[in-house]
């Protein structure tokens, strides 16, 4: 019984790391630009497809393709911001939601046309299949790597925001856009960079999802729901809150799953709902 | 207002043109509708999550159209045959809608529906309501027959889940295990059905059962289920998940070092694409075989063997053959047999009654609508296969159990996973 609980909690924390990895780009984009990107999950799925194409095309392991994919993703994010999100953000609260929703539908349909609806997966080699044992606890290396990756990404973003001049400009813009403009911050490149970083993290998460599970052109929607819930539970726009939110969701899912797996996913949604009602600002905010 | 006016005008213009076009096409079509051609409507998922079922459609339809190019001569009269295809977009509501279109606009003589309850059931219901003959396939007969009024116009030719569970159990009994069965069954129709029949079967055998609980389709994390299976010392795994979930589960099982002695997977392991995705992990997974290129049967339309039929697809598209090909082709064979058996192929109730008298052989094997387990059902035999890496480097389903139709040659021996 005790062992079961420990297993559940440890697995839950690791699972939460994966949720946070997907969610951090969403959290960043919302925190800085007030942009709710509905296409975030679909962009992640695009990343997984890109990794699949490059890895099979070049005949290299998936990890090797990352240095190629991440700059592409950053550029795509910058481009999306300049062409699409920037205009949408000027159109009020609802416009970005509608625009990114449209983008999501477009990405899904383009992927179906280009890659068929077959579920795909990325081959992570030996490591992706390996596990290790501590006492009675069996853990998967991939899950541990996912958690560490989430902490690393969030840590880097934290340092970037808190310790650099660029981060100061981002925070100033996030706090008060008009004042930031008045004191001479050029908002456009700041936003473009943030969008680039957000899409790059989404793509990184997409590659990770491709290694742990399967993806198909419609996988983005489900991915988005969990990411979105992690952001809201943790606190809108708070980066460490997103990690905490992911962990809370993961542990809830695992512990309820131990009791009855039927309610595991439902419990996550109920928790999300409860947080929205009781503490709409989230846990850390 | 100035900017709105032209749009409104343009909109009305488009509307008018569309209405005119609609009228004229109606005028053109009506004489064709009453002419003596035979129209077959074919409903299948071609896009969306179930698209893999319909991926061989173009090839199957091409073969059928070639075979029927000269029309059908029935009672000294030659009828040209026309096939109208519709895509369900993997959606049950859309399936019902396109079936209604086939009946009302295309005025088809018979509707064929294939692939998953989301297609077969709504289409069959539409046909019952409109009193149009319908033949469906690729849906376990229990799902098709239960919860609906006794069918008159709709028929189904496919395997059954209870029968399949029986075959699975015999295979498990033949291997040395501790008789603990783990069940991975989601919260959907198929999951419920396997839960019901495997639970009954293991009770009958006195075996222990560890159920997963009805998890939701699309779940990303299976560690709690895997822990339960490990704790219960499960050596036999029976699963009925959707394909992406199975890949996720089986990978997580490998990561968490859960390796039963035998794994039988319904539904998810039908397609070679899933085996390719799993790679080495697919080796020796047991899956049901309802059609394979190794079947010793021929098309009743042009005599093509199952092997030649599958080879033609492989060489034409470069993809591996899939099980739905055989049953989708068989639908057209059954439709043609019904046209020939009916007193008047243009008489809908005569045609529907004729299907009920059919007993014959198609590229998928024998069918018999006169003695099914339920009204208007023809039960197909269910064989078992194991996925193995072939010399070509691709994974192929090797038939290891042919107890329900010994006419089909077995291609190998059952091997445990460990």
Tokens representing B408? 């089909």
Chain A positions contacting chain B at CB under 8 Å are 4, 7-8, 11, 15, 112, 116-121, 123, 128-131, 133, 138-143, 212-216, 218-219, 222, 226, 250, 253-254, 257-258, 260-262, 264-266
pLDDT in tens, A92-123: 889 999 999 999 999 999 998 888 777 788 98
pLDDT at A29: 92
Residues of B in contact with A139 (CB under 8 A): 256
- Count of Cβ atoms closer than 10 Å to residue A105 Cβ: 13
Report the residue of B47, B191, B221 to disrupt the A interface, i.e. the one with the largest count of A CBs within 10 Å: B221
Minimal C-alpha gap between B353 and chain A (Å):
38
Q: Determine whether the interchain pair B225/A261 forms a contact, defined as Cβ–Cβ distance below 8 Å.
A: yes
User: Is residue B262 within 8 Å of residue B288, measured between CB atoms?
Assistant: no
Q: Which residue does chain B place closest to A15, by CA atoms?
A: B221
Q: Could you tell me how far CA B351 lies from the centroid of its own chain?
A: 23
Q: Determine whether the interchain pair A117/B52 forms a contact, defined as Cβ–Cβ distance below 8 Å.
A: yes
Minimal C-alpha gap between A248 and chain B (Å):
15
Q: Determine whether the interchain pair B281/A129 forms a contact, defined as Cβ–Cβ distance below 8 Å.
A: yes
Question: What's the whole-number mean pLDDT along residues A66-80?
Answer: 96
Is B40's Cβ below 8 Å from some Cβ in A?
A: no
Region for residue B107 given its phi and psi (left: phi exceeds 0; alpha: psi -120 to 50; beta: otherwise): left
pLDDT at B24: 43
Q: Determine whether the interchain pair A138/B256 forms a contact, defined as Cβ–Cβ distance below 8 Å.
A: yes
Per-residue confidence in pLDDT tens, chain B, 418 aa: 344 444 555 444 444 444 444 444 444 443 334 458 999 999 999 877 788 899 899 999 999 999 999 999 998 899 999 999 999 988 899 999 999 999 999 999 999 999 999 899 999 999 999 999 999 999 999 999 988 889 999 999 999 999 999 999 999 998 889 999 999 999 888 899 999 999 999 999 999 999 988 998 888 889 889 999 999 999 999 999 988 889 999 999 998 899 999 999 998 899 998 898 888 899 999 999 999 999 999 999 999 999 999 999 999 998 899 999 999 999 999 999 999 999 899 999 999 999 999 999 999 999 999 999 999 999 999 999 999 999 888 999 999 999 999 999 999 999 999 8
Sheet architecture: strand order including B81-87:
B81-87, B38-44, B110-114, B134-137, B154-158, B377-379
Q: Which residue does chain B place closest to A215, by CA atoms?
A: B244
- Count of Cβ atoms closer than 10 Å to residue A98 Cβ: 12
Going by C-alpha positions, the residue among B32, B211, B38, B23 that lies closest to residue B109 is B38
Q: Determine whether the interchain pair B49/A112 forms a contact, defined as Cβ–Cβ distance below 8 Å.
A: no
* Angle, in degrees to the nearest 10, between helices B243-255 and A187-212: 80
Q: pLDDT tier at A258 (50, 70, 90 boundaries)?
A: confident
Q: Determine whether the interchain pair B51/A117 forms a contact, defined as Cβ–Cβ distance below 8 Å.
A: yes
| Residue labelled with tokens 């925001």 | A161
Region for residue A193 given its phi and psi (left: phi exceeds 0; alpha: psi -120 to 50; beta: otherwise): alpha
pLDDT at B148: 87
User: Is residue B108 within 8 Å of residue B130, measured between CB atoms?
Assistant: no
pLDDT at B35: 56
B372 vs B141: CA distance, rounded Å:
10
Domains of chain B: 34-159+294-379 (3.40.50.2300), 162-289+382-401 (3.40.50.2300)
Residues of A in contact with B48 (CB under 8 A): 112, 117, 218
Going by C-alpha positions, the residue among B254, B281, B257 that lies closest to residue B268 is B281
What is the percent of chain A with per-residue pLDDT over 90, rounded to a whole number?
65
A55 vs A31: CA distance, rounded Å:
34
Going by C-alpha positions, the residue among A203, A212, A195, A222 that lies closest to residue A51 is A203
B114 vs B135: CA distance, rounded Å:
9
Q: What does each C-alpha distance from B303 to B40, B222, B299, B309, B359 come to in angstroms?
A: 21, 47, 5, 10, 17
B97 vs B43: CA distance, rounded Å:
11
Beta bridge partners of B134: B111, B154
| pTM exceeding 0.90 | no
Nearest 5°: CA angle at A227, between A221 and A228?
Answer: 85
Phi, psi (deg, nearest 5) at residue B278: -75, -25
Report the residue of B251, B269, B271, B282 to disrupt the A interface, i.e. the one with the largest count of A CBs within 10 Å: B251
User: Is residue A196 within 8 Å of residue A74, measured between CB atoms?
Assistant: yes
Minimal C-alpha gap between A225 and chain B (Å):
12
Query: A–B: how many Cβ contacts below 8 A?
Result: 115
B151 vs B391: CA distance, rounded Å:
47
Minimal C-alpha gap between B227 and chain A (Å):
8
Question: What's the whole-number mean pLDDT along residues A35-54?
Answer: 95
pLDDT at B50: 83
């Amino acid at each position: 019984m005790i062992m079961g609980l420990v297993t559940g909690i440890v697995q839950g924390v690791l699972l939460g790391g994966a949720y946070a990895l997907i969610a951090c780009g969403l959290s960043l984009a919302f925190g800085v630009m007030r942009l709710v990107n509905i296409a975030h999950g679909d962009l992640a799925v695009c990343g997984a497809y890109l990794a699949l194409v490059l890895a099979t095309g070049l005949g290299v392991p998936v990890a090797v393709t990352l240095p190629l994919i991440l700059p592409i993703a950053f550029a795509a994010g910058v481009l999306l911001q300049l062409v699409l999100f920037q205009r949408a953000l000027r159109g009020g609260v609802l416009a970005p939601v509608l625009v990114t929703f449209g983008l999501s539908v477009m990405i899904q349909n383009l992927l179906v046309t280009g890659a068929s609806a077959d579920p795909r997966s990325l081959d992570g080699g030996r490591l992706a299949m390996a596990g290790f044992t501590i006492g009675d606890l069996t853990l998967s290396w991939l899950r541990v790597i996912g958690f560490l990756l989430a902490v690393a990404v969030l840590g880097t973003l934290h340092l970037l925001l808190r310790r650099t001049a660029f981060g100061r400009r981002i925070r100033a813009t996030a706090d008060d856009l008009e004042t930031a403009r008045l004191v001479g911050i050029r908002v456009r490149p700041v936003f473009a960079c943030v969008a680039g970083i957000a899409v790059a993290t989404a793509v990184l998460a997409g590659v990770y999802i491709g290694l742990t599970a399967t993806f198909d052109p419609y996988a983005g929607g489900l991915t988005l729901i969990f990411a979105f819930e992690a952001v809201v539970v943790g606190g809108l726009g708070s980066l460490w809150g997103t990690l905490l939110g992911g962990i809370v969701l993961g542990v809830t899912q695992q512990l309820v799953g131990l009791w009855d797996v039927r309610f595991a996913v439902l419990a996550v949604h109920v928790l999300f709902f409860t947080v929205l009602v009781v503490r709409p600002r989230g846990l850390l905010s | 207002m100035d900017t709105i006016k032209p749009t409104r005008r343009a909109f009305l213009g488009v509307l008018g043109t569309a209405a005119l076009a609609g009228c004229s096409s109606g005028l053109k079509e009506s004489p064709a509708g009453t002419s003596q051609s035979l129209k077959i409507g074919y409903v299948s998922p071609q896009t969306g999550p179930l698209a893999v079922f319909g991926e061989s459609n173009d090839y199957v339809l091409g073969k059928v159209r070639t075979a029927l190019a000269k029309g059908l001569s029935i009672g000294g009269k030659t009828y040209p045959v026309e096939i109208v295809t519709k895509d369900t977009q993997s959606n049950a509501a859309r399936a019902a809608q396109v079936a209604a279109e086939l009946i009302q606009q295309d005025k088809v003589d018979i509707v064929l529906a294939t692939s998953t309850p989301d297609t077969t059931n709504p289409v069959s219901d539409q046909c019952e309501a409109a009193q149009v003959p319908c033949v469906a396939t690729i849906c376990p007969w229990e799902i098709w027959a239960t919860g609906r009024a006794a069918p008159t116009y709709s028929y189904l030719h496919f395997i059954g889940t209870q029968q399949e569970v029986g075959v699975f159990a015999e295979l498990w009994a033949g291997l040395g295990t501790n008789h603990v069965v783990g069940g991975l069954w989601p919260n959907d129709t198929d999951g419920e059905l396997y839960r019901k029949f495997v639970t009954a079967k293991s009770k009958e055998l006195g075996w222990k059962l560890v159920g997963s609980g009805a998890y939701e389709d699309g779940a990303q994390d299976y560690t709690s289920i895997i822990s339960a299976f490990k704790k219960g010392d499960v050596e036999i795994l029976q699963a009925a998940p959707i394909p992406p979930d199975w890949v996720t589960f089986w990978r997580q099982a490998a990561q968490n070092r859960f390796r039963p002695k035998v794994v039988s997977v319904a539904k998810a392991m039908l397609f070679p694409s899933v085996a390719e995705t799993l790679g080495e992990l697919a080796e020796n997974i047991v899956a049901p075989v309802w059609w394979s290129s190794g079947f010793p049967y021929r098309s009743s339309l042009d005599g093509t063997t199952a092997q030649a039929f599958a080879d033609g697809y492989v060489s034409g598209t470069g993809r591996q053959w899939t099980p739905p090909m055989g049953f989708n082709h068989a639908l057209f064979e059954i439709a043609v047999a019904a046209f020939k058996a009916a007193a008047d192929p243009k008489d809908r109730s005569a045609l529907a009654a004729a299907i009920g008298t059919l007993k014959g052989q198609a590229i998928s094997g024998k069918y018999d609508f006169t003695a099914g387990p339920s009204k208007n059902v023809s039960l197909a035999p269910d064989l078992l296969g194991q996925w193995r890496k072939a010399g070509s480097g691709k994974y192929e389903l090797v038939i290891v159990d042919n107890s329900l139709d010994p006419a089909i040659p077995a291609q190998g021996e059952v091997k445990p996973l460990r």
